[in-house]
Structure 1
Amino acid sequence: MSEPVIRVLLVDDQDLVRAGFRVILESEPGIEVVGEAADGARALEAARELRPDVICMDVQMPGVDGLEATRRIRSAGLEPSILVLTTFDRDDYLFAALEAGASGFLLKNASPEKLLEAVRVVAGGEALLASDVTRRVIERVTASRERPAPDTRLDELTEREAEVLRLLARGLSNGEIARELYLGEATVKTHVSKILLKLGLRDRVHAVVFAYENGVAVPGESGLGASSS
């Protein structure tokens, strides 16, 4: 049985950029570009009309920008995975995108292979969590501020779930966590889902932030790497 086709909406104010992304994405079996939008307002309309699985969202656009469009799409109760694409490697964009509900963040100078990989990762319901981005998230949430009292939601986690959260915060993938704890990968995936549910978090990105904010993990622990599964 073949895998379902990933339906993608492209949002960028530059025609040439959208055309380039379309060529790259449609060269890959199993990915279909179902629509395009040149601004954030139209992106919301297209998301409602087309119900894409993934939205590739530019940040800087006239009128409604990509960050506000992401917020509006989430507020409307729509659930596509949103991959923010930008030429600007700036922390304010990164954190604003995560807070708005984006599932991933990728620079436009990434290779075509990275774009295809990113679309597949976020379409699978996971966050795109690269090691360099993870380090910047950690530095941001731990820099120059007192650590608050641990969130009481941590008490809801079992001992095993807390252990999985610590490893997840180090950037380990489900497969790596499974090997570390001598568990099946499906079991780890179940643990991650339960952790997100109990903590009220959207995805792994927000789980990492939560873990460092609440002292579950500390900067400098070994093992931080890319995690997208």
Structure 2
Amino acid sequence: MKTKKIKVLLVDDHAVVRAGFKMLLASQCYIGTIVDIDRGELAVKEYNSFQPDVVVMDLSMPGIGGLETIRRLCKHYPGVLILVYSIHDEKIYIERSLEAGARGYVSKNSAAEVLAKAVAVIASGKRYIEEGLLPEVNDICLTENEKVKHKLKVLSPREFDVFRLLSKGLNAHNVANELCLSYKTICNYNTQIKNKLNANTSADLANIAMVNNII
């Protein structure tokens, strides 16, 4: 009996990165068709027509971004299996991804075979978090000693993307260009974020980000 191969939808805004990971995955005998696209919006749009077994995607992308893409895919397609592969290996990114609906998380700094293994595990219906990234995989709740970190729970996926860039010192124009949004929209997000986090200045945002190991 012929074994069904895993269909993969690869989402990353860098063409070279997509090509590399596509080549890696294609070399595995259990991986079948691979479709690669560069935006989260396209992932939501093309998912139904391609119907992949696993979606492998980055977090840091222009447009709606990775976290919002995960949220939308899970809302429209409840059975979707999403594996995040990101340069970010901090706990907060893993937590946010899992809470949004992702089934796995792998760092781009990991060995090449880890991504392929993760795809196979997630396709089987299990969750996969790269070893060492999140010591307590099943405990993503914050403790009493992490109340400052808990503040970020109130941010929406898009607000979190904006917060991450603002906290690194980018101004509203730079953030707007990075996320392909208007300057006015970023200013509105900036106000919302500061209100939610009880922050008055960019320095306050940077401090919150440092506590969460984002910068």
Q: TM-score scaled by structure 2?
A: 0.63
1:136 and 1:12 map into 2 onto residues whose CA distance is 28
1:25 and 1:59 map into 2 onto residues whose CA distance is 19
Q: 1:137/1:62 Cα in 2 relative to 1: closer, same or farther (>3 Å)?
A: same
Which residue of the partner structure matches residue 96 of structure 1?
96
Aligned pairs (5 A) from 1:81-160: 81-135=81-135, 137=137, 141=141, 143-144=143-144
Contact 1:67-1:96 at 8 Å conserved across structures: yes
Aligned pairs (5 A) from 1:59-78: 59-78=59-78
Name the aligned partner's letter for residue 113 of structure 2: E
Q: 1:138/1:20 Cα in 2 relative to 1: closer, same or farther (>3 Å)?
A: same
Contact 1:47-1:78 at 8 Å conserved across structures: no
Aligned residue pair count: 146
2:100 and 2:85 map into 1 onto residues whose CA distance is 14
Contact 1:22-1:33 at 8 Å conserved across structures: no
Provide the alpha-carbon RMSD of the alignment.
2.0
Contact 1:88-1:107 at 8 Å conserved across structures: yes
Which residue of the partner structure matches residue 203 of structure 1?
none
Contact 2:9-2:36 at 8 Å conserved across structures: yes
- Where 1:135 maps in the other structure, the secondary structure is coil
Aligned pairs (5 A) from 1:1-229: 1-135=1-135, 137=137, 141=141, 143-144=143-144
1:73-122 per-residue CA deviation (whole Å, 9 max, x = no partner) reads: 01002423100010011222111100011000000111121111000000
| Alpha-carbon offset, residue 33 of structure 1 | 3.7
| Alpha-carbon offset, residue 48 of structure 1 | 1.7
- Where 1:132 maps in the other structure, the secondary structure is coil
| Alpha-carbon offset, residue 133 of structure 1 | 3.7
Q: 1:56/1:90 Cα in 2 relative to 1: closer, same or farther (>3 Å)?
A: same
2:11 and 2:112 map into 1 onto residues whose CA distance is 17
Name the aligned partner's letter for residue 117 of structure 1: K
Name the aligned partner's letter for residue 5 of structure 2: V
Q: 1:81/1:110 Cα in 2 relative to 1: closer, same or farther (>3 Å)?
A: same
| Alpha-carbon offset, residue 131 of structure 1 | 4.6
Contact 2:8-2:34 at 8 Å conserved across structures: yes
- Where 1:2 maps in the other structure, the secondary structure is coil
| Alpha-carbon offset, residue 139 of structure 1 | 7.0
Name the aligned partner's letter for residue 75 of structure 2: S
Ranges in structure 1 where 5+ consecutive residues have no aligned partner: 146-229
